[in-house]
Structure 1
């Protein structure tokens, strides 16, 4: 199991949270996805044998949210 934190550009609306979390929750291999509105970060816990951190980043970008940085750690 791996964890990643994606730093986004500042989020401007609370509905962004639901849009990102709902989309990520539907992807196979992602265990949890949590958006922190105040810090504009997405924390994801995922099975790295099923999905890569870069694929999660690409999904966030495809939703229209630029990712400024990514930090990945493995348990």
Structure 2
């Protein structure tokens, strides 16, 4: 869990990372001008974890 959190937090423009391991979810706020949800999914995949779905919730 800490490994995923640190890897995602180290990406440019990412903040407020929460790894919900029991729910198999990662939540993070990110600046879309610096990174993307697909890029964050790739970071997690590179750690050896499977990403089943990527969902982006835009803030109003």
TM-score by length of 2: 0.90
The one of 31, 37, 47 equivalent to 1:53 is: 37
Unaligned runs of 5+ in 2: none
- For these two proteins, the number of residue pairs brought into alignment is 59
* Runs of 4 or more consecutive aligned structure 1 residues displaced over 4 Å after TM superposition: none
Write the deviation string for residues 14-41 of structure 1: whole angstroms up to 9, x where unpaired.
xxx1000011111111012111121111
Q: Which has the higher contact order (CA 8 A, sep 6+)?
A: 1
Please identify which structure carries the higher strand content.
1
Over the aligned positions, Cα root-mean-square deviation in angstroms equals 0.8
Unaligned runs of 5+ in 1: 1-16
Please identify which structure carries the higher helix content.
2
Structure of greater Rg: 1
